[in-house]
Amino acid sequence: MSYFLTICTFAVIYAIACLALNIRWGWGGQFDFFVYGLVALGAYTDAVLTLPPQPKDNTGLTYILGLRLPFVVGAIGAMAVTAAISLIVGAIALRQLRQIFFGIMTFASVLILAAVIENAQFIVNGYTGVYGVPQPFAGVLDLSFGAYRWFFLGLCVVVLISVYAILQRIFWSPAGLVLRAVREDEFAAAAFGYNPYRQRLKAYVLGGAIAGLAGSLLIGYITAFNVDTWSPIETVLIFAAIITGGSGNNAGVILGSFVIFGLITQGTQFLPAIPGLGGQTGAVRAIAIGLLTLAFLRWRPQGLLPERHFTVFRRRWPRSLLPTRADNGAATPQ
């Protein structure tokens, strides 16, 4: 049961991170590698806000701030910092860069962020990272170890449902429709008076805030974080989850995260050992995820749950609001 809770908790947290990337890539068409760097930045920000003041003894643990704030304040702070960093990076990268050039810019941003964190010892203890981060509400609830694990999973599920509900409202709102129109044809969207750069920047900042929230939950669960925790493979897994579940579909992204982070990454551990090949679990996991991603790209690029378009709901609208064709071919309301 403890193993099951761990898998579910990680899958839910990474589902939030996948939703963050889905806003940028699935909705806005921005091939972004910076999202997991923002998850890490959110984790570090939450740590230095919720940890106590830096210890004076010779523990070797150094970090800035140490404000001992509640988890809610730490999570809000993490979202604010990642949104601000997203605004800076997006304002530079989105103005002129597209597709692969934009991806290279965001990947370079991750390398810069990792280099700063790894070498600036005073920020978050350099390469070693921070540890002993307080778990959310643990001191207030005073639960047993097993009961708290159930509570934390429930907390993550509530956060995931809340994020999903908010994003669904945005998805079908005029802002969401405009963003997807920019993704399909930015010149046509501009012709109707919408600024593609501004629309993409809004999505980039929103995705950054949600990634910071995922980072806050992640460090609240594992209570420690360092540079090794956010390797490039994590970003690849998030992309694989979106491709598998369905790019642009929020429910599909959540489903894909459970397939990748739950079924595939954990299920490969139970495969029989290959004689003469030691340490095969990591290799088999990477091969399985790679093959699954390639299979979806080849035979079902829309994913398990394809993106739903506005025309799907035409039949639910009152007939008086639907356009009809006049004799001269012009669209007129009924």
Query: Which residues are paired to 224 by β-bridges?
Result: 131
The three-point CA angle 268-274-278 to 5° equals 85
What are the structure tokens assigned to 332, written together? 């007129």
At residue 273, does pLDDT exceed 70? no
Residue 220: closest CA among 73, 120, 122, 110: 73
* Weakest mean pLDDT among 128-137, 261-270, 302-311: 261-270
Mean pLDDT of the chain: 86
Are the CB atoms for 15 and 257 separated by under 8 Å? yes
pLDDT at 334 over 70: no
pLDDT of 115-130, one tens digit each? 999 998 899 999 899 9
pLDDT in tens, 1-49: 788 899 999 999 999 999 999 999 999 999 899 998 999 999 999 999 9
Buried-exposed string 12-32: b where 16+ CB fall within 10 A, e elsewhere: bbbbbbbbbbbbbbbbbbbbb
DSSP 63: B
Across the range 51-76, mean pLDDT stands at 87
User: H helices within the chain, ranges in order?
Assistant: 2-21, 35-50, 71-96, 99-119, 121-124, 138-141, 145-172, 174-184, 186-191, 196-222, 232-245, 250-258, 265-267, 280-299
56 has a pLDDT exceeding 70:
no
Q: Give the residue from 214, 221, 259 showing the smallest Cα distance to 37.
A: 214
Instruction: Give residue 215's pLDDT band: very low, low, confident or very high (50, 70, 90).
Output: very high
What's the pLDDT at 296?
Answer: 92
The DSSP code for 264 is: I
Q: Are strands 323-325 and 331-333 parallel, antiparallel or unpaired?
A: antiparallel
Q: For 278-324, how does the pLDDT look when each residue is reduced to its tens digit (9 = 90+)?
A: 556 667 777 888 888 899 999 999 999 998 876 644 444 445 444 45
Separation between Cα atoms, residue 143 and residue 162, nearest integer Å: 25
Question: What's the pLDDT at 327?
Answer: 46
Q: Quote the distance between the C-alpha of residue 218 and its chain's center.
A: 12
pLDDT at 38: 95
Q: Check whether 256 has a pLDDT greater than 90.
A: yes
3-state secondary structure of 324: strand
User: pLDDT at position 58, please?
Assistant: 65
Quote the pLDDT of residue 4.
86
Per-residue pLDDT of 151-168, as tens digits, reads 999 999 999 999 999 999
Higher pLDDT, 230 or 303: 303
